[in-house]
Amino acid sequence: MSSTCFVTVGSTRFDSLTNEILSDAALTALKKLGVTKVSIQLGSGEFEAKRFEEIFGSLCDHDSGSAVFAGLKIDFYRYKPSIAEDLADAKFVIGHAGAGTVIECLRLKKPLIVVVNELLMDNHQAELAAKLADLNHVLYCVPSDLTQTMLDSRLFTLQPYALPEMAKVARHIDRLMGVPA
């Protein structure tokens, strides 16, 4: 059983999330969950300078890094061509509301906490996360509630979600077009 928590923000930045995960409260919660390693896909964001130095020391390179802090292995990078492996290796995933990440986690049946960025108004992707949270397929919170949400006992009892079968749509279109079955 993996003991990695993977944090992903997608193609832009989500500093309130990536800073929150490095807070003392969040790191304590992660250890309580049996996590031994936190891996963060940072995007174009920056960590809060003081905390960054506490954890990673005077690391010059701000594009990737690794440290052991408070009994946890913590590493970060900005981007990878594919995060599929990180998702597959994780015990659970903390991610932004991007549909790609959400759907990939559902496909892999990974426990997922979707953190919504309150600063992005009218974010229609949050609609999907909210619905999936209603149906108990993911957990859903704002950055400041992350610690509390990680300790929510439902995280590891979420219901698997049967993704819509695109093959059905294709057969429907075949019939519309007169393609023989």
Partner 1 sequence: MGGAFWTILSIILVLLWIGVMYLWFMIRHFRREPLVDPKNGLRLLTVLGSGGHTTEMLDLLKHFNDEAYSNRTYVVADTDNHSERKALESEQARHSGTFVVEKIPRSREVGQSYLTSVFTTAYASLHAFIIVSRIRPSIVLVNGPGTCVPVAISAALLDMLRVANTRIVYVESICRVERLSLTAAILYYSGLADDVIVQWPQLKDTYPRVRTLDEMS
Residue 36 identity (one-letter amino acid): T
Residue from 127, 136, 152, 159 touching partner 1 (CB under 8 A): that is 127
Rule CB under 8 A: say whether 124 interacts with partner 1. Answer: yes
Task: State yes or no: residue 103 binds partner 1 (CB under 8 A).
Answer: yes
User: Is residue 169 part of the contact set for partner 1 (CB under 8 A)?
Assistant: yes
Q: Which tokens belong to 63?
A: 């594009």
In which residue are the tokens 């920056």 written?
46
Does 121 bind partner 1 (CB under 8 A)? Our answer is: no
* 173 is a site residue for partner 1 (CB under 8 A): yes
CB 18, CB 7: distance < 8 Å: yes
Using the rule CB under 8 A, is 171 a contact of partner 1?
yes
Task: Pick one of 128, 142, 151, 155: the residue that binds partner 1 (CB under 8 A).
Answer: 128
Write the DSSP string, 58-113.
S-S-SSEEEEEETTEEEEEES--S--HHHHHH-SEEEE-S-HHHHHHHHHHT--EE
Contact footprint for partner 1 (CB under 8 A): 98-100, 103, 124-125, 127-128, 130-131, 163-174, 176-180
